[in-house]
Structure 1
Amino acid sequence: QEGGDQSGEEPGTGGMSQAGGMRPPWNQEVTPEERLPSATEPSRQWSMVRRVLTAGLLFSLLLGFSVLLVYIFRSCGPGPCMTPVCWDLLARYLASGNTSVAPCTDFFNFACGQAKGTDYSFQALAEENKRRLRRILEAPGSWHLGSGEEKAFQFYSSCMDTDAIEAAGAAPLRQVIEELGGWRISGNWTSLDFNRTLRLLMSQYGYFPFFRAYLRPRPTPPYTPVIQIDQPEFDVPLKQEQEQKIYAQIVREYLTYLNQLGTLLGGEPNKVQEHAFLSISITSQLFQFLRPLEQRRAQGKLFQMVTIDQLQEMAPAIDWLSCLQATFTPMPLSPSQLLLVHDLEYLKNMSQLVEEQLSLHRDFLQSHMILGLVRTLSPALDGKFQEAHRSLIQKLGELTERPPMPARPRWMKCVEETGTFFEPTLATLFVREAFSPSTQSAAMELFTAIKNALVSRLRRIPWMDEKTRKEAQNRVTQLQVKMGAPEWALKPSLARQEYNDIQLGPSYLQSFLSCVRSLRARIVQSFLQSFPYHRWQVSPWGVNAYYSIPDHVVVFPAGLLQPPFFHPGYPRAVNFGAAGSIMAHELLHIFYQLLLPGGCPACDTRALQGALLCLKHHYETIPLPNGTFFNGSRTFLENAVDIGGLAIALQAYSKRLLWHRGETILPNLDLSPQQLFFRSYAQVMCREPGTQEPQDPYSPPTLRVHGPLSNTPAFARHFHCPHGALMNPSSRCQLW
């Protein structure tokens, strides 16, 4: 029988045959009596009705229970965050992302495809913090009259008063040049002692024409303060290996600029051109004395400790003791004072060049120093000087094929200068405005979750031996964390200090120079005092976190823990994915040394090197937007902590999801909590792909997104990426 039962039994018989004494129903004879209604038939009908009613009741109960379950699951599941901060964040994500791109093939464009210019996340946040400072500085009646706060507000106001600056013109600058002895360009020049002029430039104007000198902690224990002598910074983008044609064009543009400066200061055109030409010649010769950092590192001469006496013998043109003493007063110096020198050969050659110029062209050397000072002071001068400098930067950028720098508004420059000179005051005002105690508490709770996840993860790292593992866990638990602002910024007595040594006016340039001297004196004084806590290397409104090796401290400024990276009202997925991954990244800097060759002798070297090679290959196989591939040999350490930072933040977030209810998501974004976590991680990295600096320690932004995410199985799982897609490769690396 086709399509029927092949057993030989008819359907509906229950498998009983005639041999069993029962006739099949189609052969049964029905008697007349049997055709009469039976007495039991009504009960049979009622039984059927009862069964129908029971089935209906059960169906109703099941339906009601299902509705109840849906309600319960919806109530316990992630609901949309409808607060204003979440709507603002949603707008940011929609503005930077490109949801038409498949996340499994190009998650960078999915998250950052429309980010242009200042949409670079860190840069945008830094500018937003400066806007907040601007609102504070421009709010009437925000300061205490007669206090240090008042001077900060007055300085900002004078910086913004461009009418007064334009009216003063070059007169305040000419007064400065007269104090330095004048110059032959204007026909009024007194041949003063070279070292006297250099001493004034360094101590009174903060300008170092031939080298840089500043205080810093010693690079090795006991980390006491030491004067460091470095190569100078040049305004001209010359390179050791540069095409002769480009080199000549750069020199011509810079010569034109120096001619403009001399002319604006009333110099005679012929004399200006002659002095400008010799100045650029001196700059070019000094540049030739420089040795690349890589070369000095390879020779083991990254820095050398010498006494002032020893340096005086090797570079005698400079009166080192008197120049340094004037610059770092009241720090007591002696000929036996140790200095940290970064390029001794440069200083020797520089000294020889200065001696030659002193014997042949003393007046030209004076002009060279003054032209350099004018260049550095141009931001505090009137519009003609600033425009000349902007034009130079633009033309040099075109010659070196660097992207043009966008013009910055005046208020931003004034905010930055006020912040530099009056940091204690602005730190307190910013923290009070942008980092409340509840925000700090939420940020510390997030950091604790990240730190605990790292401690837990260290137990499972395969290449660590037991001793190294325990030491690593101890290092993490003993770590200090500084969050928000330094201790002194939260003390009103320090924040409102009088700045008695600052004299504001009569011109903005004079106010600026008075602030330069005051700041230098405060820096020196702070190094001379015993400092019981870590010296912050960033301002509280800055956006750069860092780990300090000497103090074993990790620092997260208040300016970083702001939207779109962090807010107490955000979904946890956002805070863990953005700020949490940044925190984990900084924590992993503790273990940089272990990843270097020979950095962990007791570890399983083969397993460690295998993981690092895997990581290197992983990044080299991810294409860049232009179809090329990136050699990550210079960035492999940061790649390693990028991948580890994401893994640790994800582990901490997953644990938080497991033990805490009430998770939320962003409305109308159609992303689950886990997807929102990865989206928030990528948002931190949003940046135009072509903005990579040559010495950037980080990989290009596309790799900083695709590298860690494609190495994370959970990403492919939550975004349902097909096997073999860019974000779901066939193999992954296990380093952390």
Structure 2
Amino acid sequence: MQNMDYATKDVHMLRMSETLEPELSAGQSSQPEPERVLHPPALLQLNLPNQDPAEAQPQTELKLQKWPPQRQQEPDLENQQPNERTKPAWIKRSCTLSLFILGFCLCAIFITTFYSLRHGNQSQEVLVIPCDSPACQRASVHLSMSADPFTHPCDYFLFSCRSNRPSPDVQGQQREKSRRDVKEKRTLDRKTELLQYLREILESNDGLASSAVQKAKGFYRTCLDTKSLDIAGVEPFLALIHKLGGWSVSGQWNQTDFNSTLSVLMRDYATFPFFNVYVDEDPTDTAGKRTKRYIQIDQPDLLIPIEWNNETEKTQVTKETLLPFLALCDRHLALLGAPPGSGMIHVGAFISLSSELAVAEAPLSHRSSKGQLYQRLTIKELQHKAPAIDWLGCLQAAFHSQPLFEDDHILLHNLPYIVQMSHIISNWMSGHELSSSGPLHTFMVLNLLHTLLPALDSRFSDTANNLSADLGDTGVRQRNLHSKTNALSELFTAAPRWKRCVLETERGFNGVLAHLFREDVTGREAEELSENILSSFKSQLHELKWSDKKTLQFVMNKVQSVTPRIVSTKENSSEAELDLLYSEVSISIHSFFSNYLQLLSLLQKRRSRLLHADSDDADILPPSPSLLGNELIIPMGMFIPPRFHPTYPRAMNYGVMGFLLAKDLLHVLLPDIHAKSATVGALGQCVWSSYRTVTYKDSEALPLPAAPQQEVWVQYSALQIALKAYQKSLKKQPADTSISGFSRTRLFFMAFSQVNCDADQYHHLMPLEPSFLITAICAKSRLCPPNLQCPKTTPRHSSHGC
């Protein structure tokens, strides 16, 4: 009976409590939406290490009849009614037994309920269902290898995004050091994560893959086969030069026609030595519902290193950058069999011609200020202004699948350069003393060599690496202008072969990879997340203190007009269509050079297809969104593991991908927000002061400059937006899965803490690690454990929120 009394007390202490899920805002703490979780009697309650203390607040008390009943006083038989006095004893025993059975059943019900909650019975609405997909299993391992901000609040935000080093007062701490080391090695920028994911796709074995998929994987494998490239040497390229009429460097040139050679390079090898050609829309063309695409002609990416002088507003070539490039050209000519001592004559002519062309070039910002972008001319008008080029013939060759006429309009982006380029070519054709040696032809051949460098043997890439090192030693960087030399050094410097091969494969087979992406990654989950993030982003704007109502109205009009679109969601090419598209491609298992020539042909055919108004090509490589008119272009390459997966719990998807997308939106749509709202600077400085208090015990942190203040505000607001968006998704669909038994709130923040100074173009502005924002937001919220503080620092740093 003594044990029964204890049970009576335990049952009487039973409570039902609800898990709080927040909906935070920039200016006030939210009212969390309850997540109902039943808790067992104290006697039966187990130790749940993954349960957040703040998520177990008692809300409703169940009023239960105690069992066994309390001891009653002896009945007054004299005062009882006759019918009571004469009631049989067996009836009394029956009532007592009934009460006992009722109490036993209630206990059994509560025990069963607790067991169901603990083990995820899917029939219960309130239960957390574990995610056991392969992606979730990998994510579980990923989380287990990282410091948990809820169990190690002193260790998870020690590094600064700017220095990536621990603060001075914690450098001696060794706790969790090995975990942090692993975490730092595992942290990759978004572009590298995307390329690794593509690598996994290309290296996977699928015997039932379609013909187009097999060709893409075959192209990638031959790219990796550097041994075959070294065995082939320069012979494939020399054979191609012979096909083009030879050249004077080797003493065998049959005086081919300039415009005929240029047409072949544009049509078959996607090489544009004197000007760039591509297809795009005219942003000023607003007539009609669909924007027409035009052939666009731009200045070329010259091979020589060039710089822009802001004072003289001229492009210049400096001696210190030109000397390493001269050595590069001389080495390339030697590899191609140029007689000793003769190479520098041709290199000198090449440098001279390149320098003349460079003078007329200008950076994009300068041309935009001069109104030189999107100038519309007919092909006939362009022929009159730049007669040295057979414009109709060259463009018809490049876009041979499309009918072109001299009255068709094209768009120019530097007409003064095109006019000057035509004049220079005319002089070198006839009046120049070196015209008989074919300097224009050599200029085109060396540009073709640059195009084909990824398909040549390692001696060429080694030479490019040496050039990159020499340019780095000079301390001179190209400013405001892009050239092929700069791109060359970026291509080969410290880039592993697999990464270069993934990039090349995507260039030629992007439609195939986009198709595989759609099967494995994107879908309704990505679209829903994007819509919820944009909706929460819009609501966040109303909580800022704007400089004036006009500014608010301007920003709101800009944001409200934006329509998100995940790139490739409407390019649903089937496997049969892809097989047909790549039917003319024949992949050689031993000759990457031959395969690469086919890739260049594919690139030019793609340009031709883009002239169709109903044609669209998926670009999956950009790791962040961009704004094109009123369309917010969200590349599908963002939605990949470990940042996102359709089978992940939504708490995890919103904690990582939701945050990154919200941060990108703030950068794209509000680039100058600091000057328009006082909230930005105030909140950024508040978070920074809290961070300094925790890491440096510095209660009066020096003010941050405007740019870091804005970046802190951007990331703080992005985390809030992601939380709101997740809350919105829970209202529509309350159920969510979990990983390792973590609650929604804890899993959301743990997933977010993996972002870790996500490398993008703004990461250098962030003075602290993003994971510290968990502490900043939890300081004003009831959803976090009350002990989310570092006991080794001032305990009042999180007593108020920013």
TM-score by length of structure 2 reads 0.67
Cα distance in 1, alignment partners of residues 796 and 364 from structure 2: 37
The Cα of 1:374 is off from its aligned counterpart by 0.9
Is 1:418 the counterpart of 2:505? The answer is yes
The Cα of 1:469 is off from its aligned counterpart by 9.1
Cα distance in 2, alignment partners of residues 208 and 588 from structure 1: 37
Question: 1:215, 1:228 within 8 Å by CA — same for their partners in 2?
Answer: yes
**1:216 pairs with one of 257, 261, 280:** 280
The letter of the residue matching 2:533 is I
Cα distance in 2, alignment partners of residues 617 and 537 from structure 1: 41
1:446 corresponds in structure 2 to 529
Cα distance in 1, alignment partners of residues 646 and 746 from structure 2: 20
The letter of the residue matching 1:424 is G
Cα distance in 1, alignment partners of residues 304 and 12 from structure 2: 80
2:660 corresponds in structure 1 to 582
Question: 2:681, 2:713 within 8 Å by CA — same for their partners in 1?
Answer: no
The Cα of 1:416 is off from its aligned counterpart by 3.4
2:575 corresponds in structure 1 to 492
**1:88 pairs with one of 111, 118, 138:** 138
The Cα of 1:355 is off from its aligned counterpart by 3.0
Flag the structure with higher helix content. 1
SS at match of 1:207: coil
Q: Deviations over 1:400-438 (max 9, x none)?
A: 489996644444444433332233334334443x23xxx
Alignment RMSD:
4.8
Do the aligned partners of residues 611 and 683 (structure 1) sit closer, same or farther apart at CA in structure 2, a change above 3 Å counting?
same
**1:182 pairs with one of 239, 246, 252:** 246
The answer to which of 455-464 and 560-569 deviates more is: 455-464
Question: 1:122, 1:684 within 8 Å by CA — same for their partners in 2?
Answer: no
The Cα of 1:513 is off from its aligned counterpart by 1.7
The answer to which of 175-184 and 655-664 deviates more is: 655-664
TM-score by length of structure 1 reads 0.72
Is 1:231 the counterpart of 2:299? The answer is yes
2:619 corresponds in structure 1 to 538
1:650 corresponds in structure 2 to 723
Cα distance in 1, alignment partners of residues 9 and 523 from structure 2: 53
The letter of the residue matching 1:497 is L
**Aligned ranges 1:469-618 → 2 under 5 Å:** 475=561, 479=563, 481-482=565-566, 485-497=568-580, 499-502=582-585, 504=587, 507-528=591-612, 530-531=614-615, 535-539=616-620, 542=621, 544-550=623-629, 552=631, 554-557=633-636, 559-585=637-663, 591-592=669-670, 608-611=676-679
Is 1:683 the counterpart of 2:754? The answer is yes
2:104 corresponds in structure 1 to none
Is 1:393 the counterpart of 2:495? The answer is no
Do the aligned partners of residues 276 and 619 (structure 1) sit closer, same or farther apart at CA in structure 2, a change above 3 Å counting?
farther
Do the aligned partners of residues 119 and 59 (structure 1) sit closer, same or farther apart at CA in structure 2, a change above 3 Å counting?
closer
Cα distance in 1, alignment partners of residues 795 and 408 from structure 2: 62
The Cα of 1:216 is off from its aligned counterpart by 0.8
Do the aligned partners of residues 197 and 565 (structure 1) sit closer, same or farther apart at CA in structure 2, a change above 3 Å counting?
same
1:6 corresponds in structure 2 to none
The Cα of 1:226 is off from its aligned counterpart by 1.1
Do the aligned partners of residues 680 and 354 (structure 1) sit closer, same or farther apart at CA in structure 2, a change above 3 Å counting?
farther
List alignment gaps of at least 5 residues for structure 2: 16-38, 49-55, 57-113, 118-125, 167-178, 478-488, 696-700
The Cα of 1:379 is off from its aligned counterpart by 1.0
Cα distance in 2, alignment partners of residues 513 and 336 from structure 1: 32
The letter of the residue matching 2:443 is H
Q: Deviations over 1:641-696 (max 9, x none)?
A: 6554333212123455688766676659xx975455345335335357xxx7xxx4
The letter of the residue matching 1:544 is P
Is 1:306 the counterpart of 2:377? The answer is yes
Cα distance in 1, alignment partners of residues 225 and 157 from structure 2: 53
Cα distance in 2, alignment partners of residues 281 and 377 from structure 1: 23
Q: Deviations over 1:368-407 (max 9, x none)?
A: 2212211221111223333323333343344448999664
Do the aligned partners of residues 487 and 713 (structure 1) sit closer, same or farther apart at CA in structure 2, a change above 3 Å counting?
closer
**1:201 pairs with one of 261, 265, 273:** 265
The Cα of 1:706 is off from its aligned counterpart by 4.7
2:455 corresponds in structure 1 to 380
1:68 corresponds in structure 2 to 41
The letter of the residue matching 1:201 is L
Do the aligned partners of residues 104 and 704 (structure 1) sit closer, same or farther apart at CA in structure 2, a change above 3 Å counting?
closer
The Cα of 1:529 is off from its aligned counterpart by 5.1
Do the aligned partners of residues 440 and 252 (structure 1) sit closer, same or farther apart at CA in structure 2, a change above 3 Å counting?
same
Cα distance in 2, alignment partners of residues 386 and 332 from structure 1: 39
The letter of the residue matching 1:365 is L
The answer to which of 707-716 and 421-430 deviates more is: 707-716
Cα distance in 1, alignment partners of residues 203 and 576 from structure 2: 23
**1:709 pairs with one of 744, 752, 773:** 773
2:443 corresponds in structure 1 to 368
The letter of the residue matching 1:68 is P
SS at match of 2:301: coil
SS at match of 2:523: helix
Q: Deviations over 1:176-195 (max 9, x none)?
A: 21233222110112223322
Cα distance in 1, alignment partners of residues 6 and 513 from structure 2: 73
The Cα of 1:149 is off from its aligned counterpart by 4.5
Cα distance in 2, alignment partners of residues 245 and 516 from structure 1: 31
Question: 1:442, 1:568 within 8 Å by CA — same for their partners in 2?
Answer: yes
Q: Deviations over 1:3-41 (max 9, x none)?
A: xxxxxxxxxxxxxxxxxxxxxxxxxxxxxxxxxxxxxxx
Cα distance in 2, alignment partners of residues 67 and 236 from structure 1: 75
Question: 2:619, 2:635 within 8 Å by CA — same for their partners in 1?
Answer: no
Do the aligned partners of residues 308 and 96 (structure 1) sit closer, same or farther apart at CA in structure 2, a change above 3 Å counting?
farther
Question: 2:220, 2:502 within 8 Å by CA — same for their partners in 1?
Answer: yes
The letter of the residue matching 2:207 is G
SS at match of 1:68: coil
Cα distance in 1, alignment partners of residues 794 and 416 from structure 2: 55
The Cα of 1:212 is off from its aligned counterpart by 0.8
Q: How many residues align?
A: 643
Cα distance in 1, alignment partners of residues 703 and 400 from structure 2: 52
The Cα of 1:255 is off from its aligned counterpart by 1.2
Question: 1:592, 1:637 within 8 Å by CA — same for their partners in 2?
Answer: no
Cα distance in 1, alignment partners of residues 560 and 731 from structure 2: 27
Cα distance in 2, alignment partners of residues 286 and 630 from structure 1: 45
**1:122 pairs with one of 157, 171, 190:** 190
Do the aligned partners of residues 91 and 266 (structure 1) sit closer, same or farther apart at CA in structure 2, a change above 3 Å counting?
same
Cα distance in 2, alignment partners of residues 615 and 60 from structure 1: 48
Is 1:335 the counterpart of 2:410? The answer is no
The Cα of 1:273 is off from its aligned counterpart by 1.6
SS at match of 1:388: helix
1:143 corresponds in structure 2 to 209
